[in-house]
Structure 1
Amino acid sequence: MIPSFLKNKLLKNRTPKAQATSEASKSSTATTYTKAPINQLYRKISGQALDVAVKAKLLGELPVFDTDDQTLTFYVLQDYSRSNSILIDLQTGEHKLPPALMSVKDSIHDVNENAAIIFLHHPKAKDSQLSPRLSRLVAASLQHPDLQIRLVPVSILWGRAPEKEDSLFKLLMADNWQDPSITKQLFNIGVMGRDTFVQFHAPKDLRTIIYNSLHDGQADELGVADSADSRDAKHALVPAADANRELVRDLQQQLHAYLDNQRTTMLGPDLSDRRNLVDKLIYSPAIQHATQIEADEKDISVREARGLARNYANEMVNDYSHPIIRVFDKFLTWLWTQLYDGVDVHHFERVRKLATDHEIIYVPCHRSHVDYLLLSYVIYKRGLSIPYVAAGDNLDVPVLGPLLRGAVAFYIRRSFRGNALYTAVLREYMHTLITRNTPIEYFIEGGRSRSGRLLPPKMGMLAMTVHSQLRQTNKPVVFIPTYIGYERIMEGGTYIGELKGKPKESESLIGLLKVGRKIERIFGNVHLSFGTPLHLSDFMQKFDVPADSLPADRTDTPLDEKASAMVDNIGVKIMQHINKAAVVNPVSLLSLVLLSAPKAALDEDICREQIALYQGIARQIPYSDDTIVTDMSPQKIIDYGIKLKLIERIPHILGDIIQVAGKQAALLSYFRNNILHVFILLSFLAALVARNGRVSRSRLDDIVTQMYPFLQSELFLYYPAHGLMDTLNQKIDNLIAHGLIIDLGDGMLGVPDANSSCYQQLEVLAAPVAQSLERYFMTLALLSQQGSGNLTTEEVVDLCHLLGQRLSVLYADDIPDFFDRSLFLSFVTALTRLNYLQVDKDTGVLNFDQRIDDIAHHAKYVLSPDMMQILQQIASLDDEEIAHAITEISNKKQRKFGLKR
């Protein structure tokens, strides 16, 4: 129960005197900010001196206040110091916030403070270390029910280096000297003045905090309150005279905890020396168990097994160095200004809201090696601690490798299947990071996408994250799907070559220097969009997976069937949420339009109209609320593409022509594929109507329903199958509203007049889906011609990959979509999941029935007869050709594997 004497103060009806003063406050302004006559000259001179020595950087968003209300504003800082006071005063003045070092007087409510700053640690605090100003403000709030006070917690970082555990430097600079303030202030100003950061956190209403501290079962305003039972017991045991002090102490502890948590989100947890961390890893109960098993299985001593575990740990463990971080900060600030016109960031505030109380796992798509540095840079510049990034050991090369290890990277082998001890060490290291609340980043695709589409998710790191949370729950885990989109990409030429079969180049310092030569080129803007967070607890509830259900001291306990299914579902949801956060930027939009046109060229007027159409459709029926569509005008988009040298304008007396610049078509297909999922269903519907002239809605619904799972698997579309009809009807109505298809009545749909601009737009809109359907039909034709029970999944994918290469060179303008092996694998996997294909457990060959031909039959509604004939011809291989191709592919894989070893 709430102590009655406090509850009455807070909630009782106001006395006549209080009501009178309240009425008076409504008719006049009671609050004034005035210059304090004493020490004002000192403050002014100190402020000018500090402004010269300290250049503070603002982190996060500034709070927004209603300037017309009568709410008193006070800034809450943890530690008293003159430099902190003056710094906050300078910041409030610079950013037009209520002043910090002006006296605050409200005669009606008995408030008379000589500054608007509350120090939770104050040298003048005599009453059990309680803040005098906070005590007075709480008393005034209890006395005057209409008094409104907002508290703005403020974090000040003199340097952003995480604290070192057991550090001599930390001991020397600790705030437990008899008189530490002057020494530490001089150190901060002299050494850290140019590396100082300030963040104003969201305002807190003092009356709400008080109420929640007293009220049973209410959620605490700051998220750090005691339980209701402990609060009741605490207040019930103290006499009335001490009640205010207990309340202030409770509020002060909440504010302390809140600012401590905010500091951790900005700096990360305290660092352990790398050598000590490795020791803790290999002597943990989980690794001791793993080394014992390794010793027994390999017939070696436990000491030898422990030495092997230590070697594995040394391979992977990060060696965070703040000096390296500062070097990267300055270097990358220069690099991005040289390389990009800008870095556009969307939806970051949703991450900031979760960072205090959650273990953040960033799961971005992987487009470029730049991703590692770019995402960490953006997070760091916005005031949160840098995540530790899981990087492939192929990046652990001389010079570059140690630098990345000292900044963000921990290294893992590209393949370690069958190595139980290595797996145990990696799992334990991940568990250590997660339980220490270290933010983590890993690329769920496993490697960089060469085609611009998302790759199928690799579940290894995701499963380790889930495994850790089921061993021990500290803070709840939340995944942050992150979309990264470029307008030009350094590795573009390399990607095209690799898709065509050129061997992948190993990372090296020489390769880095080669990339450095490209800095003078124009790379446009880069876009980062943080998708809707995915909470692991929600999935655990959905799949009925209990928390803390695995032994805390073991790494080798397997996930059960429900937990494994949950991991698979999380992986797919992450990919879908990355695509939902897509940015339809000028280059991707231009690529989609021009590559859909014959010979990748359009009349400039038609090009503008088509761009405007795509923009209009994407805005009227957004793919997702998280999807961003460029607001650049169609003409500016064209001019921008010319500036980036991706397209060119061909002057013509009958109207200029816009076409893809020489040898840029393959590269532009990469950027088109970044946003293909946004328009794919519209393209499919347009293609069905355009190729047939007339089609019934029921026929259209049947075809799309049967083919949708394959498009969904390839492009990670998030529309659920059970609601697909509503989505299709909405898109059909939108196409009808734009005049691209005609409602003929009686459930029939038709095309506009063949000579109209709408018909031309329909043809362009219909093109993007064609290549996906061509791949599907070619795969189905191969299966049908070879017959059931003759090919394995791997053989089908390999043969389709070869056929796709041949088709692309001969008939498809060398567009690299047909070179991407993962697209054929995605289709075959979807056929297997939907039971169109069955895998023989003994031989691994694929069995199927007539339904394979039924799916292929739908191709005639979209593909031209000529293209279907070409695909059937390409897919016609006799036994000798099949055997030769499989042998050559096998030899190539063995050579590649031998080189890796």
Structure 2
Amino acid sequence: MRSLFYFLLSWPIKMLVRCKILPDNPQESLELENDKSVFYITRHQSASDLLTLQMTCKKLNLPDPLQVVEINGKQFNRCLCLDKPSSVLPWRKVGDTLAIEQGQALLKHHQENLEEDAKLVPVNIMWGRAPHKEKANVGTVIADQESPSWFRKFWIVLFSGRDTLVRYSKAVSFREMVEQHGSDEVAAHKLIRIARFHFHRQTIAATGPRLLGRQQKFTALFANPSIKRVIADEAKAKGLSEDEVKKQALGMMNEIAADYRDSTIRLGQRILKWLWNRLYDDIEVKHGDRLRELSQAGHEIIYVPCHRSHMDYLLLTYVIYQQGLATPRIAAGINLDFWPAGPIFRRAGAFFIRRSFKGNRLYSTIFREYLGLLFSRGYPVKYYTEGGRSRTGRLLQPKTGMLAMTIQSMLKGIDRPLTLVPVYIGYEHVMEVASYHKELKGSSKQKESAFGIVKAIRKLRNYGNGYVNFGEPININEFLNNQVPDWKQSIDPIDPPKPSWMTPAVNSMANDVMREINKAVALNSVTLTALVLLTSERHAMTREELVEHLNFFLDVQRNAPYSEEMSIPEEDGEALVEQVIKLNKVDIKDDKLGQILSLDENASLEMGYYRNNIIHAFMLPSLLCRLLKSYEKSTTEDLVANLSTLVNLFKAELFLWQDKQEITAQVEGLLALFAEQNLVKQSKAGYWSIIDEHEQGYKLTLLASCVSETVQRYAIVMKLIGQLQPVSRSTLESDATALASRMSTLHNINAPEFIDKKAQSAIINALREHEFIYSDDNGSFVATASFADLDQLIRDLTDDDVLQSILHS
């Protein structure tokens, strides 16, 4: 009868249920040996759950969960269920399942048969992703999932079946359970208790904590002691009544607060899935398993991505949802709060932030406490430390306000670990690139509007691939334990102070975040092609040359990667060229000898943006090639010493991460690659030199050119310091920018960051931080004793024609 019931029910289940299975390749992570060794454990002894499990197992070629397994003459149910469905009649009690008895029987069997080692696979089946609400409504009562009756399960399957998440977890070994905990009833109870807690954590990670309505948030904020105090102070200072100030505060809360709706997320992910299929060939995601592990461990996740495009908001939220996790509350600029985008973003979890809090104590307090409320309630959060979208393609210097408020929230005594997850987001095409160049040339930034959305939609086309790489998480608790061992002494649940260690700790954390973002860089066809063509003469190459150089650049990263976190294309140079041509990123000219691929002036400006996405990853290899070209003979120790000086100097601007040990390892890997390809040789005395610059050395020449503009900017600043010292910051920055502008004209350097005043300032800061210059009593910069050696090194690495122009200007 049960088999007939399951057979009849399987048809509507097939029609009504659509599953998202996690992880993407569970077979690999489960490492199962044979059918008999596989058992499953689920939350509910429900026919719809078991049939859904059966459907996904069939899709994954895993054993049927409804089968009975016979081992050594004993029969075992393949699936253990924790809870029976509750009764439709509230006064009728439902008994326990046989999970404990089944678990104990399997443990005893392993105790008696030492050669057996069955695996237990936890499978969490979640119908829909709606979070529980603080106040129940009709929908919550009907579709309650704690232990639903058949009547409630009917509505759950009907309304949420097409949004079902099936998550397979790492298999548990019965052999290890027996060896560690025995095989008695206590061990069986422990097994079931662990499984129950495991499923609870997973469910919270997927749906998020209980949902507070906007009005409930406002009530909580008005009850906050800090906000009460600032309202009273504002009323007294401005001669207003507290009710009038409260009205202002309520207006600010309405301006800030999200209005999260699960229905918006569900509809949005369907629309975005359709949109991504039209816009992108693929969305590549790396290290998504880190997010699930953090959520499973009870961490409060704070996503900190780089900011390339308005697409970032949508893409990252979509990817997080597809990873089976609750979507974050997103800090968005107030410029995006326009109709109709603002209300939609707000319902998708966006809360809005003004560009400046300066002089508005009431607003800054409300925003800080709103952020603290999100953390204390356990909501995942996403904010951008760059503050805005990068117009150059490089990471911007971080703005530390949100990180400071995050730590201030911790000083109120949040009891769960807060963890920052740096995220690298990359594209083969960024739709705003053209407007970025207009802004860099002096055009005013266009205000976001509904008309702008319509205009952008009309321009939508194939954008190639998108990339979302989750970097190494930074546990804020552990970070503070290392940086400020006594930080917990500053905890105050009511009014935490701003301790003296706050600013340096926040600055250090911000730089760590940016370095981790850059470590997770994703190389792709457009960024690599941009890097190669923009360093070539006249920005043109034959197709064969371009393929050869792309393969060489790929070899460099595959043999001595910038970091283990990065993504490197699996394709070869020929496939990358085909992708770039498909995206219409290069001009193609055919002649009798083949194809020539080139960039015109406008394309060069656009491709400069993509080159800057990855330039940091090739900084060390490029500097190494430049040293090999500048000095005929160098030992490995000489190369490492010079590279350590240069990398440390460039770190602040490009957020490089390598220390001397890592530099040594990468140099050795690169030299081994160059030697294998007959580009360099090492003498018996240990000196490295280029074999033949005309035969194969042009590969090293092109790679060395990647760092040309950075070296030239340092040469400009250092020449002025040597010539004008003591020199004030304002004069140095102004003269450096003017000289850079001249070099840009003389040598056809069209990178916007080359003549950017902020870029010159970053160089000055790096020279001062590493004590190559210092400020005298008048605040002017003067060179230190070590300045001359660095100046000579930079001159040796600068192209002769550019150096002569700099020295004679």
Asked whether the two chains share a fold, i.e. TM above 0.5, the reply is: yes
What is residue 623 of structure 1 aligned with on the other side? 562
**SS across alignment from 1:549:** helix
The answer on 1:424 being equivalent to 2:365 is: yes
Residue in structure 2 matching 1:474, options 415, 439, 442 = 415
After TM superposition, list the pairs within 5 Å mapping 1:718-737 onto structure 2.
Answer: 718-721=657-660, 724-725=663-664, 727-737=666-676
Q: Which residue of 1 aligns with 2:679?
A: 740
Task: Give the structure 2 partner of residue 12 of structure 1.
Answer: none
Partners of 2:145 and 2:760 in 1: CA distance: 65
Whichever residue aligns with residue 624 of structure 1, its letter is: S
Read off the aligned partner of 1:535 and give its amino acid letter.
N
In the TM superposition, what whole-angstrom CA distance separates every residue of 1:526-546 from its partner, at most 9, and x where no partner exists? 111111222223322322434
Q: 1:69-218, aligned counterparts within 5 Å?
A: 70-77=36-43, 79-106=44-71, 108-109=73-74, 111-113=75-77, 116-121=79-84, 130-142=96-108, 145=111, 146=113, 148-169=117-138, 172-173=141-142, 181-206=149-174, 208=176
Q: CA RMSD in A?
A: 3.0
1:127 and 1:135 map into 2 onto residues whose CA distance is 20
Instruction: Judge conservation of contact 1:500–1:819 (CA < 8 Å) in 2.
Output: no
Q: Which residue of 2 aligns with 1:433?
A: 374
Contact 2:110–2:174 under 8 Å retained in 1: no
Instruction: Tell me the CA shift for residue 339 of structure 1.
Output: 1.2
1:521-600 equivalence runs, <5 A: 522-546=462-486, 548-554=488-494, 557-561=497-501, 563-600=502-539
Matches within 5 A, 1:330-729: 330-356=270-296, 357-520=298-461, 522-546=462-486, 548-554=488-494, 557-561=497-501, 563-661=502-600, 663-691=602-630, 693=632, 703-721=642-660, 724-725=663-664, 727-729=666-668
How many Å apart are 1:175 and its aligned residue? 5.4
Bigger shift: residues 467-476 or 652-661: 652-661
State the 1:851 CA deviation. Answer: 5.3
Give secondary structure in 1 for the equivalent of 2:57.
helix
Any idea what the Cα deviations from partners look like across 1:401-426, whole Å, max 9, x if unmatched? 11111103111111113433322222
Question: Partner of 2:268 in structure 1?
Answer: 328
Q: Secondary structure at the match of 1:656?
A: strand
Residue 417 of structure 1 aligns to a residue in which SS? coil
Structure 1 counterpart SS, 2:466? strand
Question: 1:212 and 1:406, CA in 2 relative to 1: closer, same or farther beyond 3 A?
Answer: farther
Q: What is the SS of the residue equivalent to 1:651? A: strand
SS of residue in 1 equivalent to 2:230: helix
Alpha carbons of structure 1 residues 439 and 211: separation in structure 2 relative to 1, 3 Å: farther
What is the rounded CA distance, in whole Å, between the counterparts of 1:856 and 1:176 in structure 2?
69
In structure 2, the CA distance between the partners of 1:280 and 1:845, relative to structure 1 (3 Å rule), is farther
Distance 1:555 1:344, change over 3 A: farther
8 A contact 1:473–1:547 mirrored in 2? no
Output the TM-score relative to the length of structure 1: 0.82
Relative to structure 1, the CA distance from residue 108 to residue 821 in structure 2 (aligned partners, 3 Å threshold; closer, same or farther) is: farther
Q: For the Cα contact (< 8 Å) 2:68–2:76, is it kept in 1?
A: yes
Contact 2:743 2:802 in 1 (8 A): no
Identity score, percent: 29
Take 1:40 and 1:128, find their aligned partners in 2: how far apart are those partners?
A: 23
Structure 1 contact 134–248 (Cα < 8 Å) conserved: yes
Distance in 2, Cα, partners of 1:683 & 1:735: 13
Structure 1 segment 721-870 matched on structure 2, within 5 A: 721=660, 724-725=663-664, 727-743=666-682, 746=685, 748-756=687-695, 758-792=696-730, 796-797=732-733, 800-801=736-737, 803-839=739-775, 845-848=780-783, 852=787, 855-870=790-805
SS in 2 for 1:431: helix
CA distance in 2, matches of 1:672, 1:137: 57
Match of 1:277 among 217, 225, 235: 217
Amino acid of the structure 2 residue aligned with 1:774: Q
Question: 1:180 Cα shift?
Answer: 5.7
Structure 2 portions without partners, runs of 5+: none
Shift of 1:742: 4.1
Alignment partner of 2:10 out of 47, 50, 53: 47
For residues 702 and 55 of structure 1, what CA distance do their matches in structure 2 show?
Answer: 58
Query: Is this contact kept in 1: 2:83–2:96, CA < 8 A?
Result: yes
SS of the counterpart of 1:502?
coil
Give the 3 Å change call, closer, same or farther, for CA 822–162 of structure 1 in structure 2.
farther
Note closer, same or farther for the CA distance 1:754–1:654 as it changes in structure 2 (3 Å cut): farther
Q: 1:128 to 1:644 in 2, by over 3 A?
A: closer
Q: Does 1:56 align with 2:19?
A: yes
Cα distance in 2 for partners of 1:700, 1:211 equals 54
Taking the aligned partners of 2:206 and 2:269, their CA distance within structure 1 comes to 15
> For residue 313 of structure 1, what is the amino acid of its counterpart?
M
Amino acid at match of 2:322: K
Q: Which amino acid in structure 1 is aligned with residue 104 of structure 2?
A: V
> Shift of residue 346 of structure 1?
1.2
Q: Is the 8 A contact 2:721 2:782 kept in 1?
A: no
The residue number in structure 1 matching 2:251 is 311
**1:22 matched residue in structure 2:** none
Please list the CA deviations of residues 312-334 of structure 1 after superposition, one character each: whole Å capped at 9, or x if unmatched.
22221111012221221122112
Answer yes or no: is the 8 Å Cα contact 1:156–1:199 preserved in 2.
yes
1:882 alignment partner in structure 2 = none
Within 2, Cα distance between the matches of 1:301 and 1:873?
68
The separation in 1 between residues aligned to 2:76 and 2:637, in whole angstroms, is 76
Q: Deviation at 1:813?
A: 4.4
Q: Which moved more, 1:856-865 or 1:765-774?
A: 856-865
Structure 1 gap segments, 5+ residues each: 1-37, 216-242, 875-901
2:687 & 2:604 partners in 1: Cα distance? 37
- Aligned partner letter, 1:503: S
Change (3 A) 1:117 1:652: same
SS of 2:210's equivalent in the other structure is coil
- The residue aligned with 1:894 is none
Shift of 1:823: 2.5
What one-letter code is carried by the residue in structure 1 that aligns with 2:303?
Y
User: What is the aligned partner in structure 2 of residue 253 from structure 1?
Assistant: 193
Describe the shift of the 1:739–1:551 C-alpha distance in structure 2 as closer, same or farther (beyond 3 A). Answer: same
Q: 1:73 to 1:163 in 2, by over 3 A?
A: same
Letter in 1 for 2:748: A
Cα 1:360/1:654, change in 2 over 3 Å: same
How many residue pairs match? The answer is 799
In the alignment, the residues of structure 1 paired with residue 106 and residue 503 of structure 2 have an alpha-carbon distance, to the nearest angstrom, of 56
CA deviations 1:746-786 (Å, max 9, x no partner) are 45444333431x12212211111110011112223334444
Between the aligned partners of 1:560 and 1:131, the Cα distance in structure 2 is 57
Could you tell me whether the CA contact under 8 Å between 2:82 and 2:192 is conserved in 1? no
Q: How far apart are the structure 2 equivalents of 1:722 and 1:828?
A: 27
Deviation digits for residues 816-837 of structure 1 (CA, Å, limit 9, x no counterpart): 2314444323212212222334
Please say if residues 265 and 348 of structure 2, whose CA atoms lie closer than 8 Å, have aligned partners that are also in contact. yes
- Matched to 1:160, the amino acid is R
